[in-house]
Each structure stands twice: as C-alpha cells, then as structure tokens.
Chains A and B, each alone.
Chain A
C-alpha cells in the first residue's frame, strides 16, 4: 500500500479498494467505494496493487445520461443492478433467459447493443449505458418507438424493449437498411408472440422516415 488512504484529498486512490469479504448486505454501508473503475496512470513505474472487490460494493452507473448509484456484489449483473438495485428501478430491460440467448435485456454500452445479463455491474461502471427508457418516453416517443406502435410490432411486449433498443442502435449505424439487413441486425432478439414481420416493418418505416 504505497498510497495515502486519505479520502479527503479529493483524488481517487486506486489502491484503496474495498475488502469486504463476507460482509452481508446489512454491513455493507460501512466501507464505501464510490467509483470502482479507475485507470491506473500509465506513467507509474510500479503499478499499484490491483484493485480488488468483493462482498458488497458501491458502483455508480452512467445510465441514460444520469448517475445511478447501486450497491451490488461483483457477481451482480448489470441487468440485475438496474432492475433490483437502482432507485427507481429501471425495468425496461427484461430478464428472460439470463444467458444471452434472447435479447430482452439488450441495452446500449457506449452506443452498441449488449446483453445486460452478460455484463457485470462492476464491469459496466466506466461505460455509457442506455436503456430503452433513455430512447424515448410514452409522452415523447422516439421515431423507432412510434413506428413499432404504428406497425403493431409488439404483442405481449416483453421482447419489445430489447428489439427497440437493438434497432435504434442499428439504424444509427445503417440508416437505410434492407429487410435482410434488419433481420440480420435483430437476430439476437427473440419474440414468442410472433411479432417479427411487423418489427421488421417498423424498422424499415422508421428508417424511411429519415428522422432516426
């Protein structure tokens, strides 16, 4: 431990990590790590001891442009952090398969679609996270969201946030896709009610509007 443990100097000290082994939820507040994702400065000749986290840790997530503090374990997925720990809960991303085979939990990490069930919250702290809630609200829908409604690209709606998120990101990457390209782009999102044809229509209509 070569560095100061003084928290009052305003600098974040990468060596001062939580060592909360075995601390249950009740005791977690005692040791605080406000931000765990810290780049070690390249200049340092002797790298600091590696950051180590266990037990309950505090993480600040950057979600939809705002700071979302959560207290989680290292094993808590980003999806569970958003749904079970964030206040208020962010439940747009859905827990369906929990192993990256359905797409219902899709969020954008730095603008790219990712399965939030396959990302640890502690590993997401340095990323810009966008959930479906960040794409538009019922009162102020995005073009893609409006197209889903107009084309009826939803039934039970449980897969819908994932599809909306995936397609919103894809149309930014490819504003003028073919049907086949849309199908390829959302092959990581699954629907059980059978909304696919109209999801595709919605994506193409949103693209055609030129307002995405």
Chain B
C-alpha cells in the first residue's frame, strides 16, 4: 500500500474539497473511504495509489435507514449487515435483503457499506494483478478477450470485458432506485440506470458516472407494486466466499394470475447491471407458466455474446431467471 494522507472531514463540503485536490485518473486520485473493504484491497496491490484518503465516517447524516410509505432511504454509510437485518426491508423488499446477505462474508458485511458496494472495483483478475497493465488501468489491451475469460462479460463487453461485481446493484436497478450524489456543484439525483457506464460509453477507467470528487450520500428505493415480491438469486462457484458467476434480480407484480409489471436484471454477466426490457415486456399480461418462464429466460439471454470460455453463463443465467421469476411470482419453477 502506498503511503497516503488520512483526512477526517466532518461535513460533505470538506470531503468534496479534499477529494478535488490532486485530481487525476481514479487510481491516483484522492479516494473516499467508508468501510474500505474493497478500496484497501486495491491499494494493497498498488492497483490504486491514492495520495489521500477521505474518511466519510465522521460526516453526519450518511447513516439513515428509513422505510415509509414512499419508499426506503439508505444512507451511503449503512453497512450491508444493517441492510440485510432490517426487518422492514426483509418484509417489504426481500430481494434487497437477500442481495445484501449474498455478499462476501459476515466480517465484510459488518464493515462494508451500501455506497461502497455500488462503487467497488471490478474483480477481473487481469485488473487486480499489479503485474498486468490492462486496458482498465490505462494499458492498451483487455487481456480477457483472448485469455482466461471464464468469469468475464457476455453482454455489453468491449473494449473492456469486466463484469460489475456488485450484488446490490442489480437488485437496486430492478427496484428503480435513485442515487443521490454530492459534488463540487452540489447535490444531484441520478436514476440508477444512468449511474453505471459501459466501457464503450464512459470513462474506461471507471464503472460509473461519478467524478473523483463526487460522493454517494443516499440511495432511495421507491415503494412499488413489485418490491414485495423481489428476489435475488446469486450463483457462486464456491458458496462460502465468491462473487457471482451470474445472478438475477427479479420482481413481479401480479393481478390475479396475470403479470402486471415485472423487472429482470442480470448480474455478473456485463460491465453494468444488465436489465432486460424485452423479457420484462414479454411477461406483461402473461400467466407465469413453465413455458412463459422458459421463454422469458430465453429472451433475457437472447443477445448474449459469450467469449471462448464463458458460454456456460447463458444456460446458467437462464436457469436463474426461471427460478427467480418463479419465486417472485409465487409459482413452481
């Protein structure tokens, strides 16, 4: 870990100012730290080399967790444990509690925060190795394209083929969350679908629209007709501790036996949480029969473009879509 300056701002203005100094590429810029459960790992292998850490934990007002008729407000400093154990969330947005629970290990969830989970860096092993200067680190090549790409993207790839590692992100996208961000120009609210960026459209060094001196302060999850049915299924190669080989966040609102509204977002398959509107649209007005769920799964993966070693993600994600829909829709798979 490279030496850095540790700063303890007590309000957001201070924090933003401290982050704006020495701005450069994300890997050398000052970084905010909350739980630090991902950031410190990138610093230990010198993948990121911040000159300054800006501790967010002394800033008041970032640890609100409240649920009311309008929806759920999650402060950026809320830990994953706090989110997963919140009784109201468990009941009214079960998929969100499941997604939080699916993350890493109890130790990491005790310190890791919701804001940090959304901003964590990719797990691609080419990215994480200090010895390798890959495209996402300012190099010239995404080695996953022709290399060991078993865990890489089947959607949205190019020129980088990372998958987004967050488990909360797909679920929050399924639930239509909005992210409040504070930067030098003040506060702005970003719909989660506009938060994450594909390598081909945004800054390839980043995974989202944030600038170096932007901070997530809060996430708002609106109450909806489908949140109560929400479900998160995560498939791991090793159950004890692993990132998703593929995951699905699903939610279904039914009227009688008919689907009124639905959300299907895939995780672990693309550089961003991968929402599949075609599948959602198809479901509307349907009864959740086996055939309908099969067809939805097919539609959800229809545009997948697997690399040499990750074709398995197609049938795997199809299975997860079917199973998640069955749970969300209260039918048998």
Contact = CB atoms under 8 A, between A and B. Distances in A.
A–B contact (CB under 8 angstroms): yes
Contact of A54 (B3, B106, B239, B241): B3
B14 A120 contact: no
Interface in A59-75: 73-75
Nearest to A51: B8
A177 interface: no
B240 A47 contact: no
Contacts of A53: 5-8
B241 A101 contact: yes
A100 B37 contact: yes
A145 interface: no
A120 B110 contact: no
Max count, chain B CB within 10 A of own CB: residue among A42, A52, A100, A119 = A100
B37 A74 contact: no
Interface stretch (B52-60, B207-215, B270-278, B312-320): B52-60
Contacts of A52: 5-8
B18 interface: yes
Contacts of B7: 50-53
A172 to B, nearest CB: 13
- A interface secondary structure, majority: loop
B85 to A, nearest CB: 10
Nearest to A116: B107
Contacts of A120: 6, 36, 40
Max count, chain B CB within 10 A of own CB: residue among A48, A112, A185 = A112
A22 B200 CA distance: 41
A104 B40 CA distance: 17
A103 B107 CA distance: 8
A50 B16 CA distance: 12
A59 B200 CA distance: 45
A166 B106 contact: yes
B105 interface: yes
A179 interface: no
A50 B6 contact: no
Residues of B in contact with A, size category: 35 or more
Interface string B8-44: 1111001000100000000000000100110011011
Interface string A39-51: 1101000011011
A148 interface: no
B267 to A, nearest CB: 20
B10 A50 contact: yes
Nearest to B110: A112
Contact of A74 (B4, B104, B107): B4
A113 B10 contact: no
Interface in B102-121: 104-108, 110-111
Contact of B111 (A103, A119, A122): A119
A177 B245 CA distance: 30
A200 to B, nearest CB: 13
Contacts of B57: 123
B111 A187 contact: no
A188 B109 CA distance: 10
Interface in A81-110: 98-101, 103, 106, 109
B2 interface: yes
B60 to A, nearest CB: 7
Contacts of B53: 74
Nearest to B14: A50
Nearest to A40: B10
Max count, chain B CB within 10 A of own CB: residue among A50, A119, A187 = A50
A54 B6 contact: yes
A193 interface: no
10 contacts: A40-B10, A47-B9, A75-B1, A100-B107, A114-B107, A115-B111, A118-B41, A123-B57, A166-B107, A188-B107
Interface of B: 1-11, 14, 18, 33, 36-37, 40-41, 43-45, 53, 55, 57-58, 60, 81, 104-108, 110-111, 239-241
